[in-house]
Amino acid sequence: MISENSILRFARGTRLQHDRVRDVWFIQAPERAFHADPIAVEVLQLIDGTRNVGDILDLLCQKFSAPREIIARDVLILLQDLATKQVLQAK
Amino acid sequence: MSAPPPPMSLLAELTHRCPLQCPYCSNPLQLEPRTQELGTQDWKRVLSEAAAMGVLQVHFSGGEPMARPDLPELVAHAAKAGLYSNLIISGVLLNTKNLQELADAGLDHIQLSFQDAEAENADHIAHMIGAHAKKLEAAQLIKAEGLPLTLNFVIHRQNCERVPAMLALAEQLGARRVEIAHTQYYGWGLLNRSALLPSRAQVEETEKVVAEARARLSGRMSIDFVTPDYYADRPKPCMGGWGQRFLNVSPAGKVLPCHAAESIPGVQIPSVTEESLAHIWENAPLFRLFRGTDWMPEPCQSCAFKEDDWGGCRCQALALTGDATETDPVCHRAPEHDLITQAITERPETPPPFHYRRYGKIKAY
């Protein structure tokens, strides 16, 4: 399970990529591309294999001046989903 | 008709040459010889054009794409153009050196084909002694290198009872994904249909085994399952709709909406040697032929699902009814659905010998 202490990185063969032609973001993965909505993009751009999830939540709180518990709930659901899809992995 | 959305994927069939002779190969019956293959510069131009059009992923396939010595160069070119690269191989030509070259070129993912979980039968299906053992070695090399690995099993009446063993093998080899794909019956698959078509009971068993494995392996290994449309009530949304998401370039540079589209009669097959990929995608009569829903006959035209399945598979309609504009016979509402029920009832008790995939003259089906 992903927690605030988890340090995440993109699994090899997956990456976040801006699609210039459609001007949207995709998560590229083996044999498929998932569309990434603007919120997911904000979160995923902070995944660097060094910060833990708690640090990422702090940064998002500052940027969007929203209550931490609300951001934390949504972000953990997103990250857990992407870990299940083997896009992200815990270090 | 307004301009189509840009394609998502490019299947680059670099060559039809292959050391394996699988009787369900997705290549056309009339294989293109080496002398007609596009050169390196042509393929590079195709890759650049694809990326500029909005293609996100390229699937290097064949035949056996590793038969092309310029493969690492093409992978590097795709990476530079921003394309995600998948490589679909038999594994029998893979070694430490060429794997390293591909990884260094920026390859993103490898899909390795297996014919069975059991060596003797696997080699029989591939018609190559020792192929299975080489594939096991290839999987281990890929795993050791760290590239994400998909195992691909095409299943049929002569191997589908071993789906549990296939899943166990994929797990044991550390695959991130596994594809369990029932054979599709056109081209070589149709030619070998009696030897390959499973019974309904066999199909249901594979569905059950896959559903159980998916629950057990969630988060560790994902399983893509392709059902055989002969046993479905509704047709598959072939290629996500004709000319809507997918481009196929053949070894000689023919541009097709799907693997089998060359079989469609009476329409010119466009080629990258004559026109740009973007021009072909937007304007070629072959791509406009079945794009959208205007072309549909009844009962498709008034069907509530016409934008779910896009009328199913045109090549299947052609191969079975002789008319590519017919309703896909697998649909239970199709006027010619009897062709499917008949094929199922007339399955021979004992499968006949395989008609292996080879260059040369093919007797008409």
The answer to whether the beta carbons of residues A21 and A33 sit under 8 Å apart is no
DSSP B269: P
**3-state class of B288 per DSSP?**
helix
Query: What is the rounded CA–CA span in Å between residue B14 and residue B43?
Result: 8
Tokens 């070119």 appear where? B77
Residue A3 domain flag: no
Residue range A14-39, pLDDT digits in tens: 999 999 999 999 999 999 999 999 99
Residue B31 has pLDDT above 60, yes or no: yes
Residue B174 region by backbone torsions, left for phi larger than 0, else alpha for psi between -120 and 50, else beta: left
A41: pLDDT confidence band, cut at 50, 70 and 90? very high
Say what the pTM is. Answer: 0.95
Query: What is the rounded CA–CA span in Å between residue B330 and residue B316?
Result: 9
Residue B112 has pLDDT above 50, yes or no: yes
Q: Average of pLDDT values for B195-219?
A: 96
Which H or E run contains B226? strand B222-226
The verdict on a CB contact (< 8 Å) between B218 and A30 is no
Residue A2 domain flag: no
The answer to whether the beta carbons of residues B50 and B4 sit under 8 Å apart is no
Tell me which residue range forms the domain holding B172: 1-364
Q: In this structure, are strands B9-13 and B57-61 parallel, antiparallel, or unpaired? A: parallel
Q: Does A9 touch chain B (CB under 8 A)?
A: no
Query: What is the rounded CA–CA span in Å between residue B212 and residue B70?
Result: 42
Sign of the C-alpha dihedral, residues B49, B53, B54, B57? negative
Residue B300 labeled ligand binder = no
Q: Does A18 touch chain B (CB under 8 A)?
A: no
Q: Does A19 touch chain B (CB under 8 A)?
A: yes
Measure B251 CA to nearest chain A CA, in Å: 21
Residue A62 domain flag: yes
Number of independent structural domains in chain B? 1
Query: What is the rounded CA–CA span in Å between residue A41 and residue B254?
Result: 37
Residue B364 has pLDDT above 80, yes or no: no
The verdict on a CB contact (< 8 Å) between A13 and B147 is yes
Between chain A and chain B, the number of residue pairs with CB atoms below 8 A apart is 57
Residue B22 labeled ligand binder = yes
User: Looking at beta carbons, which residues of chain A come within 8 Å of B54?
Assistant: 19, 21-22
Q: Does A17 touch chain B (CB under 8 A)?
A: yes
Determine how many CB atoms are found less than 10 A away from the CB of residue B14: 23
Across chain A, mean pLDDT equals: 95
Residue A56 domain flag: yes
Which H or E run contains A58? helix A53-64
Measure A90 CA to nearest chain B CA, in Å: 12
Query: What is the rounded CA–CA span in Å between residue B54 and residue B251?
Result: 22
Number of independent structural domains in chain A? 1
B260 versus B364: the higher-pLDDT residue is B260
**3-state class of B150 per DSSP?**
strand
Instruction: Check which CATH number belongs to the domain holding A14 and give it.
Output: 1.10.10.1150
Measure B301 CA to nearest chain A CA, in Å: 30
How far the first Cα of chain A sits from its last, in Å, is: 13
Sequence-ordered alpha helix ranges (H) in B177-313: 188-191, 193-196, 200-217, 277-283, 285-288, 306-309
As a whole-number percent, the residues of chain B with pLDDT over 90 amount to 94
Q: Average of pLDDT values for B251-266?
A: 94
B1: pLDDT confidence band, cut at 50, 70 and 90? low
Residue A77 domain flag: yes
Residue partners of B300: CB distance under 8 A and separation at least 6: B293, B306, B311, B327
The verdict on a CB contact (< 8 Å) between B111 and A30 is yes
Residue range B36-64, pLDDT digits in tens: 999 999 999 999 999 999 999 999 999 99
Instruction: Check which CATH number belongs to the domain holding B106 and give it.
Output: 3.20.20.70
Say what the alpha-carbon torsion angle B285, B291, B295, B301 is, to the nearest 10 degrees: 180
Residue A45 domain flag: yes
B365: pLDDT confidence band, cut at 50, 70 and 90? very low
Sequence-ordered alpha helix ranges (H) in B127-245: 131-145, 163-172, 188-191, 193-196, 200-217
Axis crossing angle, helix A68-84 with helix A53-64, rounded to the nearest 10: 130
User: Looking at beta carbons, which residues of chain A come within 8 Å of B176?
Assistant: 11, 13, 30, 86
Query: What is the rounded CA–CA span in Å between residue B127 and residue B353?
Result: 12
Residue range B334-360, pLDDT digits in tens: 999 999 999 999 999 999 999 999 997
User: Looking at beta carbons, which residues of chain B come within 8 Å of A13?
Assistant: 108-109, 147-148, 176
Residue partners of B122: CB distance under 8 A and separation at least 6: B114, B115, B116, B131, B132, B135
Residue B238 labeled ligand binder = no
Residue A1 has pLDDT above 90, yes or no: no
B17: pLDDT confidence band, cut at 50, 70 and 90? very high
The verdict on a CB contact (< 8 Å) between A13 and B108 is yes
Q: Does A46 touch chain B (CB under 8 A)?
A: no
Across chain B, mean pLDDT equals: 95
Residue of A nearest to B5 (CA): A22
Residue B76 has pLDDT above 90, yes or no: yes
* Residue count (chain B): 365
As a whole-number percent, the residues of chain B with pLDDT over 70 amount to 98
User: Looking at beta carbons, which residues of chain A come within 8 Å of B148?
Assistant: 11-14, 30
Residue A1 domain flag: no
Residue of A nearest to B224 (CA): A31
Residue range B300-326, pLDDT digits in tens: 999 999 999 999 999 999 999 999 999
User: By C-alpha distance, which of B51, B38, B47 is closest to B7?
Assistant: B51
User: Looking at beta carbons, which residues of chain B come within 8 Å of A28?
Assistant: 56-57, 84, 108
What's the pLDDT score for residue B361? 62
> Predicted ipTM?
0.94
Query: What is the rounded CA–CA span in Å between residue B303 and residue B298?
Result: 8
Q: What counts of helices (H) and strands (E) characterise chain B?
A: 14, 9
The verdict on a CB contact (< 8 Å) between B84 and A33 is yes
Residue A54 domain flag: yes
